[in-house]
Structure 1
Amino acid sequence: MSMDKAPLARVPMSGLVASAVEYMIDAGQRSVLFLDILRRRGDQYQQHIAQTAPHVLHYAAELVMDGRKLSEPVNYALVRIIPPEGIELDLERRPFIVVDPRAGHGPGIGGFKADSEIGVAMKAGHPCYFIGFLPEPMPHQTIERIARAEALFIEEVIRRHPDADGKPCVIGNCQAGWAVMMLASLRPELFGPIIVAGAPLAYWAGVHGKYPMRYSGGLLGGSWLTALTSDLGAGKFDGAWLVQNFENQNPSNTLWTKQYNVYSKVDTEADRYLEFERWWGGHVNLNAEEIQFIVDELFIGNNLAAGRIKTSDGKAVDLRNIKSPIVVFCSKGDNITPPQQALGWVLDLYADVDEIRAYGQTIVYTVHESVGHLGIFVSGGIAKKEHAEFSSNIDLIDVLPPGLYEATFEAKDADTANADLAVGQWVMRCEARTLDDIRGMGGNSSEDERRFATAKRVSEINLAAYKKFVQPWIKCMVTPQVAEWTRNIHPLRLQYEFFSSRNPLMTAVGTTAERIRNDRKPAAEENPFIALQEGISRQIVSALDGWRDYQEALSETIFLAVYGSPALQAAVGVDPRWEPSRQGMPAEHREMLQRRISELKSRIDEGGLREAAIRGLLYVGSARGMVDERSLEALRRIRRERGERLTLAQFKMLVREQFFMLLLDQRRALAAIPKILPDNANERRAAFAAIGEVLSASAEISGEVAKRLQHVAELFCLDASEMSERDKVTPFDPKAKAS
């Protein structure tokens, strides 16, 4: 093993000795201070788990509904976030509801600091609510029961905000993302825009050489091990095992980097480290029925996007039933929920963008280049950028015409046009995309799909065998007391217990650390031994990363070879010619669609100035292939100045109807504009000027946009250049018009 010795070689012997003494004093002090931080972490853990309802919310909260008191009790609760001093809420703005993941950790991470999903939503003026949970599930609690409880919670939020301009925006983080999507497919009328952050929805999806977590179910022989773990817990699944899975994905961080970062910066990193560890160590339990559903139906079965999940009353969970805009936030740096798993469901459900539109669906996605899984909903930088923009522009997302879009963010600077129309430090755009853009991220071949289908079938066989031959014996042997003991000795819990003040060996650490803080002697940054320490750390990280890469490559090779075996596939009944199939459009929806098309076509010649203006704006704006937040703000100001009384829901319906009319028969829809315009020339002139203002708010009007605007001017029976001069509006570039 080689390491960089240059820092030592450049220092004279006398200076080297002095540096060594300085470093040894510093390293000794840091070691004691680091042990003290671990002691404080252990004590914090003890205090946290002793609470009745432990959470890490940064904000005060008021209990609104307790799920334990429902007719079908669950361990979930709805709370209202009380805004801190200095934050003013607008009760006419739609409320936000943040649902935190129950994936091994406790609740509150969606609002555990000011720069969080809840924090930026309140800064944007939205009332905020939070759906959290207690550490222990209620008896007989299932995923379906939780969904019904959350529906009641959302109904209560809607009842509390009768004047809100729009249904609640619901944010589902990680595990909560797929749960929210399931509920929205069953109760679409409850939801405004939905934001799913780091949420897996297409569980088999991925690319070779990356994201090996999707192979785990197959490599373990299926979900029988999940059932065994639940049985060893006397009907409860210890969430610490889920946390262990997360940690196993990044051994260099788990075994070294996280602790070394605190040790090397022991004077400044304690508070940040302890704040995060309070959440990371707050393990919660799930009922056996809950975790078995999650593993069988979702992670191994991949049944969500396929529409194969049904409720107890036989109703299918079809994500195409969702009527609200869906925002998918994922990252290339997320090895838990990579972009393919976050977005692959779109390819499973729709043949093309026209089919997305046929369901009246709006899907907006954004892919971060590097942030990890937790950073998607924990990072302060992400909260101040992406989540802040989503909160500020949720109305823009809500009124987007149906289709597929990618949200992009451009930093505001001195050259940004009409910067006052964009909230915050970024300008958000929604740019039209096709399914090929998602396919371009990579995905499974037909051979890969057959491998996962084979793993699913093997899992079913192994689980059935376990339940018949082994489970009865395990249940007889495991008592609640034994289950509690096994939970307490889980390695993740023991690390907190061992370093807490309960350990007699740690009693002297606190007093010693206090004396050291009063006489701290840190080594200088240029000390060569500090550089040597950093070099050793990098080599440890490199070695652990290399081990991880080897393990991941080996796991993938084994999975592909075993489940790609034609003999195994034939043995478990997987046809070697089997191809994954997409759900077809149900006959009922096709009939409804035809009725809606006929209705819209029959109304193309109906309307007035408002319909003509929106139709003209959509026709011209579609040439850009994107919608900018500045345009919506310009439109909002125009509506406010002119006293428009349309609610957001009414405006959204107006936009959608005019959009579909253009989509169905653009020539006829445009030809009808002169027929529905009023005779009053001033009204026509004002409406056309508004179109120009909205379009010019986000970009210079030129090229095809200018040509279309000229066409609309003619349909409005106006001379565009004369209009611009008279009304002091420059809706397009005259040079572009001349060309």
Structure 2
Amino acid sequence: MNFKVVNDAIAINLENANILSRLWLGHGQRIAQEQIKLFQARADKAAELFKPAQNLNPWTAWSSYATDAMQRSILVLDTLRQRGNAFNAHSDGNIPPVLDFDYELVIDGRSLPRPVNYSLVVITPPAGVTIDPKRRPFMIVDPRAGHGAGIGGFKPESQVGDAFADGHAVYFVIFRQWPEPGQTLADVREAEAAFLDEIHRRHPDVEKPVVIGNCQGGWGCMLLAAAHPDKVGPIAINGAPMAYWGGTAGKNPMRYTGGRVGGVWPAMLMADLGNGVFDGSLLVQNFEELNPANSYWKKLYNLYAKVDTEAERFLEFERWWGGFFMMNEEEIRWIVENLFVGNRLAFGQAYFGDERIDLKSIRSPIIVFASHGDNITPPQQALNWIADTFHNVNEIKARGQRIVYLLHDSIGHLGIFVSAKVAGREHEAITDTMRAIEALPPGLYEMELEQGKDRLHIKFAPRSVDDILKLDDGRKDEEMFAAVARVSETGATVYENLVRPFVRAMVNEDTAKQFFRTRPLRLERSLLSDRNALLAPVGALAEQVRAHRQPVEANNPFLAAEHLMSDLIEQNLDLYRDIRDAFHELSFHALYGSAPMQWVGRQEMAGREQTSDENLLMLPDVRNALANIETGGEAEGTVRMLELLSEARGYVRRSRLERELQLFATEQPFATMGEDRRAKLIYEQSLIVRFATERAKASLPKLLDTPAERHRALDLVMRVAGPVETMHPQALALYREFEAMLGRRPTNAGDAEQAA
């Protein structure tokens, strides 16, 4: 008997038992404390609600409330009937995007060599909007995760609206409900590359397009940028899940789903029952089950409580939420195996055929927007890919990458895309940053926002990979998710060989249609429509109610009781959710935290570990840059001093980047440089500053070898870094060192103003 193996197994199981005990106590205490707090709040609210009703006649109050309640019930039923009719009207597959803007078709993906259901449209600027022909166009990609396209332009105050407000032309990637036969995600990626080619053809004199990806559109944009780094400008990915194993204990229950159901085989089964097509309503159902209180009560009660004003907004949102889009079996399987369960993309182990997808190949600056209030894509899932892809921040710099992340404290997943508050602040900041991000030195930064009196102040604070990992509570639990990935592979093999032949033998086009029709979210809509004869009188009744509407007084005690009852129902559904999620987490840890599963997980993780601390000095780009440390002239010397000042300051403000960008656009020798040449210049000088700081300073006199070049370079640097009185003390001290080194007397405030 191998006693070491036995001892290891005992130790692992004891450790897992301790973890389970802590989780059990933590969940119990949290749920109990939350319920006590909520019951106290409900009691206080009840006392406040019933105070204004003390002097009312109870029979009069009841009559008024009963009339209003009956009328609201009819109006709600009519609203749901309208929702069902709209759903049925689009059952032919022709579901338009929910864009709040006019648009024109540019490319229909069905016409491409590898046909796809994606298309490129150009958004028509609204009245009063002027497009600046010198600014990059935007291409926005929405998620194809069960819903349709258009959420990025769902309101005037949206990503589209922000881009227009800044003078950018806007293109939007939309998609039809049904995929083309045989369509793959690789085909979709190549279609989006063709879209970028067309945008460049239409805007030949501007820089590469900004690409914005929402949710799953975010990782789609990363696939595009990794394969076609020469076509993509800055990338913004909003609420985009890139590292699916990330999360904290007691939160983020969605990441346990793959382990609970056994991996990818249920998705394969659903696609087989759909005759090779996966129904997107199943994904939407997963989202709804995350928050049953909202899905099954709060959303409908909010409609009931405010039906006179809420019906139109409800129907508009349901037009997007209830437009269910399909995927081919190959598409959903790739997503589950490489992302949801396998988490292969971040580790560089995802493939399209023989092509390995390497996120290190991306050359575009990347902005990541995530929120602590997002229970679908928490910050760990949005950011941990950085730690998986790059060994440390030095590697990010060595590869010339700029990654900026922005964290919101509370906004939910959908709010990242559609909230007017977010659109007016975070998305505005992202849009503004796109203009100046090429002047940012390579590295990892957190974008910090501070509202000033006259404008939003933006600061880029340097961060390390360790700062990203501090958002998580450790990554030991990822061994369990690695075990899930291995179990998923086994389950897929068993299903393919033993079950799939029988399922496919029983499925045809007719059975697939019936399968789609009977999905819960589809039935919920189709049954509450004019197809249901029982609802025939509802439309006429609703018209009569609107003509004779008698809303109840706000201080009615029965209305107060209704609100209180709604709060209690919501509280109990939240309690059910918390207990359910706690059970899911505990059962996941009990199964996949056991000794056999941890051994499986460790074997899986062993193949994913970075093989060594790569000697960054041996990278070709680093070697070439250091070999040219004494080569160059005024451009190299100016940029090198700016990079050294950035290092000394410790952070970068947007205003400084804007001044640097203005310098690049107006001053020689930068103004005649192309975008790629400027980017290469900044990249090379940042490598020199990072890996040979002292030599970088000492060799400045060799780059700037004439008095005229030295004075001009110092003046240009001061125009960006100054004025003197506002400079960071360490940056000012370094600038004085430059002046002494280059033989110029120290600059004072008056000199700076004259130079400017």
- Residues 697 and 652 from structure 1, CA distance in 2 versus in 1: closer, same or farther, beyond 3 angstroms? farther
1:384 corresponds to: 424
1:230-260 per-residue CA deviation (whole Å, 9 max, x = no partner) reads 1111111111000000000000000111111
Which one of 672, 679, 682 corresponds to residue 655 of structure 1?
682
Alignment of 1:436-585 (within 5 A): 436-446=466-476, 448-568=477-597, 573=600, 581-584=608-611
- 1:178 deviation in Å? 1.4
Opposite residue 33 of structure 1, the aligned amino acid is: L
- Residues 726 and 305 from structure 1, CA distance in 2 versus in 1: closer, same or farther, beyond 3 angstroms? closer
- 1:729 deviation in Å? 5.6
SS in structure 1 of the partner of residue 237 of structure 2: strand
1:60 corresponds to: 102
Which one of 347, 363, 369 corresponds to residue 306 of structure 1?
347
1:371 corresponds to: 411
Which one of 400, 421, 427 corresponds to residue 440 of structure 2?
400
- Residues 685 and 24 from structure 1, CA distance in 2 versus in 1: closer, same or farther, beyond 3 angstroms? farther
1:329-358 per-residue CA deviation (whole Å, 9 max, x = no partner) reads 111111111111111111112221101112
Range that drifts further, 192-201 or 12-21: 12-21
1:131 corresponds to: 173
2:456 corresponds to: 426
1:289-331 per-residue CA deviation (whole Å, 9 max, x = no partner) reads 111111122211111112222222x221111111111111111
1:719 corresponds to: 745
Which one of 25, 28, 45 corresponds to residue 67 of structure 2?
25
2:136 corresponds to: 94
Count of residue pairs the alignment pairs up:
712
1:419 corresponds to: none
- 1:709 deviation in Å? 2.3
2:315 corresponds to: 274
Which one of 697, 701, 704 corresponds to residue 674 of structure 1?
701
Instruction: Tell me, yes or no, if the aligned pair for 1:221 and 1:458 is still in contact at 8 Å.
Output: yes
1:633-661 per-residue CA deviation (whole Å, 9 max, x = no partner) reads 23344556657434444333322222222
SS in structure 2 of the partner of residue 227 of structure 1: helix
Opposite residue 378 of structure 1, the aligned amino acid is: V
- Residues 730 and 23 from structure 1, CA distance in 2 versus in 1: closer, same or farther, beyond 3 angstroms? farther
SS in structure 2 of the partner of residue 728 of structure 1: helix
Instruction: Tell me, yes or no, if the aligned pair for 1:566 and 1:576 is still in contact at 8 Å.
Output: no
Task: Give, in whole Å, the separation in 2 of the partners of 1:699 and 1:343.
Answer: 37
Opposite residue 386 of structure 2, the aligned amino acid is: V
1:600 corresponds to: 625
1:737 corresponds to: none
1:294 corresponds to: 335
- 1:549 deviation in Å? 0.6
SS in structure 1 of the partner of residue 632 of structure 2: coil
- Residues 151 and 667 from structure 1, CA distance in 2 versus in 1: closer, same or farther, beyond 3 angstroms? same
Opposite residue 140 of structure 2, the aligned amino acid is: V
- Residues 296 and 597 from structure 1, CA distance in 2 versus in 1: closer, same or farther, beyond 3 angstroms? closer
1:675-722 per-residue CA deviation (whole Å, 9 max, x = no partner) reads 3336455x655543443342247992242122122222323432234x
1:664 corresponds to: 691
Q: CA RMSD in A?
A: 2.6
Task: Give, in whole Å, the separation in 2 of the partners of 1:534 and 1:24.
Answer: 14
TM-score between the two structures when normalised by the length of structure 1: 0.91
TM-score between the two structures when normalised by the length of structure 2: 0.89
Instruction: Tell me, yes or no, if the aligned pair for 1:8 and 1:529 is still in contact at 8 Å.
Output: no
Matched, 1:188 2:188: no
- 1:600 deviation in Å? 2.1
1:349 corresponds to: 389
Task: Give, in whole Å, the separation in 2 of the partners of 1:10 and 1:282.
Answer: 44
Opposite residue 289 of structure 1, the aligned amino acid is: E
Matched, 1:620 2:614: no
Instruction: Tell me, yes or no, if the aligned pair for 2:107 and 2:195 is still in contact at 8 Å.
Output: yes
Matched, 1:704 2:734: no
- Residues 364 and 577 from structure 1, CA distance in 2 versus in 1: closer, same or farther, beyond 3 angstroms? closer
Task: Give, in whole Å, the separation in 2 of the partners of 1:132 and 1:697.
Answer: 47
Matched, 1:692 2:732: no
- 1:209 deviation in Å? 0.7
Opposite residue 728 of structure 1, the aligned amino acid is: E
- 1:611 deviation in Å? 2.8
Instruction: Tell me, yes or no, if the aligned pair for 1:634 and 1:697 is still in contact at 8 Å.
Output: no
SS in structure 2 of the partner of residue 691 of structure 1: helix
Task: Give, in whole Å, the separation in 1 of the partners of 2:752 and 2:186.
Answer: 59
Instruction: Tell me, yes or no, if the aligned pair for 1:689 and 1:729 is still in contact at 8 Å.
Output: no
- 1:281 deviation in Å? 0.6
Task: Give, in whole Å, the separation in 1 of the partners of 2:92 and 2:508.
Answer: 23
- 1:391 deviation in Å? 1.4
1:633 corresponds to: 658
Task: Give, in whole Å, the separation in 1 of the partners of 2:395 and 2:553.
Answer: 64
Opposite residue 264 of structure 2, the aligned amino acid is: S
- Residues 217 and 523 from structure 1, CA distance in 2 versus in 1: closer, same or farther, beyond 3 angstroms? same
1:153 corresponds to: 195
1:252 corresponds to: 293
Opposite residue 713 of structure 1, the aligned amino acid is: E
Opposite residue 429 of structure 1, the aligned amino acid is: K
1:420 corresponds to: none
- Residues 531 and 662 from structure 1, CA distance in 2 versus in 1: closer, same or farther, beyond 3 angstroms? same
1:115-138 per-residue CA deviation (whole Å, 9 max, x = no partner) reads 111221122111111112111111
- Residues 50 and 42 from structure 1, CA distance in 2 versus in 1: closer, same or farther, beyond 3 angstroms? same
SS in structure 2 of the partner of residue 56 of structure 1: coil
Range that drifts further, 282-291 or 691-700: 691-700
Opposite residue 94 of structure 1, the aligned amino acid is: R
- Residues 668 and 222 from structure 1, CA distance in 2 versus in 1: closer, same or farther, beyond 3 angstroms? closer
- Residues 699 and 649 from structure 1, CA distance in 2 versus in 1: closer, same or farther, beyond 3 angstroms? farther
Opposite residue 66 of structure 2, the aligned amino acid is: M
Task: Give, in whole Å, the separation in 2 of the partners of 1:545 and 1:125.
Answer: 44
**Identity across aligned pairs (percent)?**
41
Task: Give, in whole Å, the separation in 1 of the partners of 2:145 and 2:114.
Answer: 22
Task: Give, in whole Å, the separation in 2 of the partners of 1:396 and 1:485.
Answer: 53
SS in structure 2 of the partner of residue 267 of structure 1: helix
1:734 corresponds to: none
1:83-121 per-residue CA deviation (whole Å, 9 max, x = no partner) reads 122111122211111111111011111112211112211
- Residues 432 and 703 from structure 1, CA distance in 2 versus in 1: closer, same or farther, beyond 3 angstroms? same
Task: Give, in whole Å, the separation in 1 of the partners of 2:153 and 2:641.
Answer: 42
Opposite residue 506 of structure 2, the aligned amino acid is: M
- Residues 595 and 440 from structure 1, CA distance in 2 versus in 1: closer, same or farther, beyond 3 angstroms? closer
SS in structure 2 of the partner of residue 655 of structure 1: helix
Opposite residue 379 of structure 2, the aligned amino acid is: P
